[in-house]
Amino acid sequence: MIMKTFKKIALAGVFVSLIACEKDFLETFPTDVLSQEQVNEAAQVNPDVSKATLLGIYENLYRRGSGGTSSQEDFGITTQYIQLDMLSADMAHLGKSYNRQTAISELTATQDPDNDYNYRPWRFLYRIINLSNLVIDGAGGNDVTPDSESARHTLGQAKALRGYAYFFLAHVFVNDITDMGKAVLPIYTSAEDLDQPKSSLQDIFDLVVSDLTAAETLLEGFVRQDKIELNQDVVRGLLAKTYGALNNWPKTEEYAAKVVTSGSFPIMTADEVALLPGESGAVGGFNDINSIGGVMWGIDITPAGQGLASLYSWWGFMDYYSYSYAAVGNRKGMDSDLYANFKEDDIRKNQFNSILMPTGKFYYKGADANNFRPFSGPQSNIDSDSHYMRIAEMYLLHAEAAAENGNDAAARTSLKALLDLRIGDSSYVNALSGKALAEEAALQARLELFAEGQSYFIMKRRRETRTRGANWLDNAGDSFSHTDERLTYEIPQEEILFNPNLSEQN
């Protein structure tokens, strides 16, 4: 069944993603590949056309070039996860060989609207939106509920993907996510919409909530074939994160609790999250989403199915053992000040080597067979998976929100459910309450989810100021507010030039 789905994704990628390597802009896509009329007409004849378009959207989540460039830093969500962890100060740049992502570490790219680091997330996320709009239009539009269960499930996934893309945009292109009245981003709710002006941040978040709540209903009863597909649990997780960004703590607690109490996903065990001393036959490495029940959403990557070269992947940039940049000097590791927050007996300390690279957290499947030698290869074609959400995040978000709501007992229960698998004694949590308990849950989320792309969203949700530790090559000791414009991308200058209704940066 998995290989069958991969074949569908590959065909869908051809169907909706025939793009050149050079830059392309919002107003030329997707009309140069598929028109809304073509999809509508085809969907009326064969509903599987909408499913194929949907699979093409999923393919863009991890495909090289989904940000519209031929750059080796252009590979979907996980390239953004790396960069956002650096912008949030939790992932220190420890080496600059080959000059990869140095403009992010140095905070120069985010001040230059002509820099491709700004263009790629804009292009990637609006591509997801436009393709989602094709599916939604093909189903009859935003206000239609299809009669068939299959069509409802297809529409639900498209709305969830569109909502997720706008959630992402509202964080990475907006300096202050508390300024809800500010006009920040164009909204496109149909493939026929072109050259829209900026809408307010309130309108953006209203659309995110609307899309995700609609998706929650539409996906009732949906049983996915693979973890790349968005189901009701993942959508509820996205709703919890959205309400968290709005500091609507009652709704955050409600939706995080729905995921936690579903019983569908166990928290990863000690040997799943870290390479423990003396452990043989390593079961961790975050490299196989299907063998790890705690992964809620991710992509099962196979060389035959995706054909991803290590130079153009998250693993190439982060895995010390792969045949790529992390092994030859473009090193990234945990911020030293963040690392200092681990308890002495925390098993997660085994995730890091002496310079705090996550060599015991992330490693490709063949690393143990090669005795975990640095640069031991030969993962030149990636077969290690990527994940986008896991249940630990929901436990910790539930703890954070419950504490903010004064529900300390529930917060302690969720927080200790994770800590009891990481440290010998979690009883210190009993002395925490209210804001202090919420802050501890957020801190544990940063420790637990290091290099998984969530720290940036935590920073904005908590309205934090962070300081880079002593192990940074750039701006060590400097502090940055969550509203600092150096931590958010610029709207690409070309987009402002091409869209007559966009005239200024955020």
Which long-range contacts link 241-244 to residues 24+ away (Cβ below 8 Å)? Answer: 241/167, 241/397, 241/457, 241/461, 242/163, 242/167, 242/205, 242/208, 242/209, 242/212, 243/209, 244/397, 244/400, 244/401, 244/461
Token representation of residue 300: 């099962």
Q: How far apart are CA 242 and CA 238, in angstroms?
A: 6
pLDDT value at position 21?
38
Q: How far apart are CA 77 and CA 59, in angstroms?
A: 11
pLDDT value at position 365?
77
Q: How far apart are CA 135 and CA 313, in angstroms?
A: 28
Query: DSSP letter string over 154-214?
Result: HHHHHHHHHHHHHHHHHHHT-S-TT-TTSEEEE---STT--S--EEEHHHHHHHHHHHHHH
Closest CA to 370 of 325, 330, 303, 319: 319
pLDDT value at position 48?
61
DSSP 72: T
Helix, strand, or coil (residue 295): strand
Query: DSSP letter string over 117-135?
Result: HHHHHHHHHHHHHHHHHHH
pLDDT value at position 45?
43
Are the beta carbons of 270 and 421 closer than 8 angstroms?
yes
Q: How far apart are CA 234 and CA 160, in angstroms?
A: 9
Are the beta carbons of 195 and 24 closer than 8 angstroms?
no
Each residue's pLDDT tens digit, 261-298: 999 999 999 999 999 987 766 679 999 999 999 999 99
- Residues near 57 by beta carbon (within 8 Å), at least 6 away in sequence: 16, 128, 131, 132, 135, 158, 161
Q: How far apart are CA 24 and CA 67, in angstroms?
A: 9
Using CB atoms within 10 Å of the CB of residue 148, give its burial: 0 to 12 exposed, 13 to 18 middle, 19+ buried.
exposed
Using alpha carbons, list the distances in angstroms from residue 223 to 153, 226, 479. 9, 9, 45
**Mean pLDDT, rounded, of the chain:** 89
Q: How far apart are CA 129 and CA 162, in angstroms?
A: 5
Number of CB atoms found within 10 A of residue 144's CB: 12
Q: How far apart are CA 62 and CA 306, in angstroms?
A: 9
Each residue's pLDDT tens digit, 217-252: 999 999 999 999 999 999 999 999 999 999 999 999
Domain covering 2-270+389-498, topology:
1.25.40
Report domain extents, the chain. Answer: 2-270+389-498
Q: How far apart are CA 69 and CA 491, in angstroms?
A: 16
Rounded mean pLDDT, 456-467: 98
Each residue's pLDDT tens digit, 15-51: 443 333 345 444 333 334 445 555 555 455 445 667 7
Is the pTM of the predicted complex or chain greater than 0.75?
A: yes
Rounded mean pLDDT, 335-340: 98
Tokens 């220190």 belong to which residue? 92
Tokens 């949030």 belong to which residue? 88
Q: What are phi and psi of 426, to 5 degrees?
A: -100, 10
User: Can you give 231-282 as a three-state secondary structure string?
Assistant: CHHHHHHHHHHHHHHCCCHHHHHHHHHHHHCCCCCCCCCHHHHCCCCCCCCC
Work out the percent of the chain whose per-residue pLDDT is above 90: 76
Cα–chain center distance at 54 = 18
